[in-house]
């Protein structure tokens, strides 16, 4: 298809960019997607490995989404992708404490009895409703310590935050990262009171929805607490979105060098070999890549926007997959439902181990791993351990093998059947505090910039949430902005044969 002026050029074919492109395409807009790399998905990459034990499917990025990830799962089903539920053992999750794996509490009673918190820490929680709400933003570490106590930070929230954000609680912004919890604090005056009333509200909504369902006939539903992936791995999702775009509208190895103003149509998007004229630009490249693309834009707030983008740090992360015989674990780990059975474990930073967490994909999705084998997927690095970006991968693998030996109390070093690794130097953006006002101020500067630069829309996981479902929602919201912009009479596209 040849178009003189596109309605939108999308920069980046990660989940945010593709979700935007597919939504715009559906609205009948003329969309072109430019991707710097050779494939779609950004950090969402899956790979079948040939190993001496047989084929193994590994994930280099996200492993699962929850059933509550409605935007993503609905979009997947609309593109004929059936979500595959993880094995029910996925509900068993562990945190490493005092040299052993302790189950994460999954019910109020388990929360009362969990050894993850001392009696003192549990009693400390009773004081939470009486602590005055914070007036300003602070670091996650300060906020959690003040409201919930240091034990909750060290043994519950800290490991969880390294697992999801690869973040350092001492640097993360509480209001930008813990939106729900800080929202409870501000609205209900207490996290516990806010959580309690949210649970009650959810129960009422569930009851109402059930009644409606009975009237409307039984719709197939995904359980919100179950974890899902797709038959060929998570990459099947961006792949399905890309396949929904008409041929020729997605260009690979098309790194965008700049965005320029075009007086007649809006913008020019420049790659090494081509210049694309367009009414709008949807830029979903990571913050550090986006910063350079704005150089040619004249708006008063361009420099502030570039400073805001440059101030968003990214944590590096290495992903290491180790395939070992399940028999290695024998009768070890007696505190677990089965040897390395469950979702996996998170490791508090005080443990002295380098790994942030260890997932057990053979237990989650048994068909992806040869029978009798365990696939241990470790994450190393994050904001608390950025040195990993400078380590050769062979060294990172050795560190992981040592950590696994310590984690499972194995008598001798692991001799893996297969081990592979990959480093993401810019894995996950960090919503940090800072003297510039932190992430909330950076996001506000980017909003102000977009208001002064009509037709240019910024998105990606550095704004609006790092979870895949957040990225889908954000992509769809960007599409809506473009649609509204293009609907204004003076801005109708001019497709040419
Ligand atoms: C190891 C890891 C594990 C994760 N686990 C989970 C999980 O379990 N659950 C979950 O919900 N989320 C998880 N996430 C987070 C989630 O995967 C990401 O936040 C999300 O995929 C980001 O999507 P995006 O499209 O915003 O960005 P990206 O995936 O970074 O895509 C941006 C795209 O822009 C392209 N690009 C960059 N510069 C240019 C340019 N100049 N021109 C053209 N294209 C350009 C890039 O090549 C890339 O394809 C994980 C992330 C990582 C790294």
Mean pLDDT by 10 residues, the chain (497 residues): 85 98 97 98 98 98 94 95 92 90 86 91 93 95 96 92 91 95 95 89 77 55 84 97 96 97 95 96 98 90 96 98 91 55 91 94 95 96 95 98 93 94 98 96 97 96 96 98 90 41
Euclidean distance between CA atoms 265 and 268, whole angstroms? 8
Is 214 domain-assigned? no
Report the predicted TM-score, pTM, of the whole model to 2 decimal places: 0.93
> What is the reported pLDDT for 339?
62
Q: How far, in Å, is the centroid of ligand 1 from the Cα of 112?
A: 37
Domain-ending residue, one of 140, 175, 198: 198
Q: Are residues 447 and 411 in the same domain?
A: no
- Please give the structure tokens belonging to residue 371: 């029978």
Burial 244-255 (b: 16+ CB within 10 A, else e): bbeeebbbeebe
Is 105 domain-assigned? no
Is 324 domain-assigned? yes
The separation between CA 371 and the C-alpha centre of its own chain, rounded to angstroms, equals 30
Number of neighbours of residue 356 by Cβ within 10 angstroms: 26
> What is the reported pLDDT for 334?
47
Q: Are residues 410 and 327 in the same domain?
A: yes
Q: Are residues 326 and 402 in the same domain?
A: yes
- 416: buried, middle or exposed (CB in 10 Å: 19+, 13-18, 0-12)? buried
Whether 36 is in the pocket of ligand 1, judged by its Cβ within 6 Å, is yes
Beta bridge partners of 278: 6, 267
> What is the reported pLDDT for 496?
36
Whether 16 is in the pocket of ligand 1, judged by its Cβ within 6 Å, is yes
DSSP 8-state secondary structure symbol assigned to residue 248 = T
Give, in order, the Cα–Cα distances in Å from 211 to each of 208, 214, 220: 5, 5, 15
Is 174 domain-assigned? yes
Q: Where are the alpha helices (DSSP H) in 138-231?
A: 140-148, 150-152, 158-165, 174-177, 179-188, 191-216
Of 69, 62, 19, whose CA–CA distance to 222 is shortest? 69
Euclidean distance between CA atoms 486 and 255, whole angstroms? 25
Number of neighbours of residue 115 by Cβ within 10 angstroms: 12
Q: How far, in Å, is the centroid of ligand 1 from the Cα of 44?
A: 6
Q: Which of 18, 59, 61 to mutate to test the pocket of ligand 1 (most atoms within 8 A of CB)?
A: 61
Check if the beta carbon of residue 23 is closer than 8 Å to that of residue 12. no
Q: Are residues 252 and 356 in the same domain?
A: no
- The domain of 393 spans 46-67+83-91+314-429
Domain at 36, CATH number: 3.50.50.60
Q: How far, in Å, is the centroid of ligand 1 from the Cα of 42?
A: 4
Can you tell me which atom of ligand 1 is nearest the CA of 468? 11
Pairing of strands 6-11, 275-283: parallel
Can you tell me which atom of ligand 1 is nearest the CA of 69? 11
Q: Are residues 319 and 417 in the same domain?
A: yes
Which residue lies with its CA nearest to atom 53 of ligand 1? 427
Residue with tokens 């693309």: 293
Whether 44 is in the pocket of ligand 1, judged by its Cβ within 6 Å, is yes
Q: How far, in Å, is the centroid of ligand 1 from the Cα of 442?
A: 20
Q: How far, in Å, is the centroid of ligand 1 from the Cα of 41?
A: 7
| 3-class DSSP assignment, residue 239 | helix
Beta bridge partners of 227: 66
The dihedral over CA atoms of 385, 390, 392, 393, expressed in degrees to the nearest 10, equals: 40
Domain-ending residue, one of 375, 402, 429: 429
Q: How far, in Å, is the centroid of ligand 1 from the Cα of 150?
A: 32
Is 396 domain-assigned? yes
Euclidean distance between CA atoms 239 and 329, whole angstroms? 37
Q: Are residues 451 and 422 in the same domain?
A: no
Q: Are residues 321 and 461 in the same domain?
A: no
Q: How far, in Å, is the centroid of ligand 1 from the Cα of 289?
A: 12
The dihedral over CA atoms of 241, 243, 247, 249, expressed in degrees to the nearest 10, equals: 20
Radius of gyration, CA atoms only, the chain: 24
Whether 284 is in the pocket of ligand 1, judged by its Cβ within 6 Å, is yes
Q: Are residues 257 and 175 in the same domain?
A: no
Q: Are residues 322 and 306 in the same domain?
A: no
> What is the reported pLDDT for 490?
67
Phi first, then psi, for residue 97 (nearest 5°) are: -140, 135
> What is the reported pLDDT for 107?
80
Is 276 domain-assigned? yes
Is 421 domain-assigned? yes
Pairing of strands 355-359, 373-381: antiparallel
Q: Are residues 347 and 415 in the same domain?
A: yes
Give, in order, the Cα–Cα distances in Å from 384 to each of 40, 210, 221: 29, 44, 39
∠ CA 146-431-176, rounded to 5°: 55
Domain-ending residue, one of 147, 176, 198: 198
| 3-class DSSP assignment, residue 424 | strand
Domain at 126, CATH number: 1.10.3110.10
Of 174, 69, 30, 181, whose CA–CA distance to 471 is shortest? 69
Q: Are residues 324 and 423 in the same domain?
A: yes
Q: Are residues 328 and 379 in the same domain?
A: yes
Check if the beta carbon of residue 423 is closer than 8 Å to that of residue 396. yes
Whether 474 is in the pocket of ligand 1, judged by its Cβ within 6 Å, is no
> What is the reported pLDDT for 220?
57
Euclidean distance between CA atoms 227 and 204, whole angstroms? 24
Which residue lies with its CA nearest to atom 22 of ligand 1? 461
Is 75 domain-assigned? no
Domain at 373, CATH number: 3.90.660.20
Please state the domain count of the chain: 3
């Amino acid at each position: 298809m040849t178009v003189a002026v596109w309605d939108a050029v999308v920069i980046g074919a990660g989940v945010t960019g593709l979700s935007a492109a597919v939504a715009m395409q559906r609205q009948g807009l003329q969309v072109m997607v430019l991707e710097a790399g050779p494939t779609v998905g950004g950090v969402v990459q899956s790979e079948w490995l040939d190993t001496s034990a047989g084929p193994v499917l590994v994930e280099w990025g996200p492993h699962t989404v929850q059933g509550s990830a409605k935007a993503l799962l609905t979009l997947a089903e609309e593109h004929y992708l059936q979500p595959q539920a993880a094995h029910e053992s996925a509900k068993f999750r562990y945190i490493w404490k005092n040299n052993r794996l302790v189950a994460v509490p999954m019910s109020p009673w388990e929360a009362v009895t969990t050894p993850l918190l001392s009696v003192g820490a549990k009693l400390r929680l009773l004081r939470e409703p009486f602590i005055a709400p914070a007036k300003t933003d602070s670091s996650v570490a300060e906020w959690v310590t003040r409201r919930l106590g240091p034990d909750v930070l060290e043994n519950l929230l800290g490991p969880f935050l390294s697992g999801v954000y690869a973040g350092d609680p001492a640097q993360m912004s509480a209001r930008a990262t813990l939106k729900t919890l800080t929202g409870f604090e501000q609205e209900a005056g207490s996290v516990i009171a806010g959580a309690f009333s949210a649970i009650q509200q959810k129960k009422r909504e569930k009851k109402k929805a059930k009644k409606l369902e009975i009237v409307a006939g039984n719709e197939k539903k995904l359980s919100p607490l179950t974890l899902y992936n797709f038959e060929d791995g998570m990459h099947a999702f961006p792949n399905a979105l890309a396949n929904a775009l008409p041929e020729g509208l997605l260009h690979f190895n098309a790194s965008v060098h700049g965005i320029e103003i075009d007086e007649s149509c809006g913008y020019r998007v420049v790659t090494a070999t081509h210049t694309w004229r367009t009414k709008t630009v949807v830029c979903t490249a990571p913050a550090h890549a986006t910063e350079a693309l704005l150089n040619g834009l004249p708006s008063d707030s361009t420099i502030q926007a570039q400073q805001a983008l440059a101030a968003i740090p990214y944590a590096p992360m290495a992903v290491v997959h180790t395939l070992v015989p399940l028999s290695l674990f024998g009768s070890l780990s007696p505190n677990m439902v089965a040897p390395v059975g469950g979702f996996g474990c998170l490791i508090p930073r005080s443990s002295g181990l380098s790994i942030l967490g260890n997932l057990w994909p053979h237990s989650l999705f048994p068909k992806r791993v040869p029978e009798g084998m365990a696939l241990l997927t470790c994450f190393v690095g994050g904001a608390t351990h950025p040195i990993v970006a400078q380590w050769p991968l062979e060294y990172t693998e050795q560190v992981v093998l040592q950590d696994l030996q310590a984690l499972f109390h194995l008598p001798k070093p692991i001799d893996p059947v297969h081990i592979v690794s990959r480093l993401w130097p810019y894995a996950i953006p960090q919503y940090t505090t800072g003297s510039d006002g932190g992430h909330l101020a950076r996001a506000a500067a980017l909003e102000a910039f977009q208001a002064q630069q009509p037709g240019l829309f910024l998105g990606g996981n550095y704004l609006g949430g790092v979870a895949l479902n957040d990225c889908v929602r954000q992509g769809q919201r960007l599409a809506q902005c473009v649609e509204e912009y293009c609907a204004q009479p003076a801005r109708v596209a001019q497709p040419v044969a």
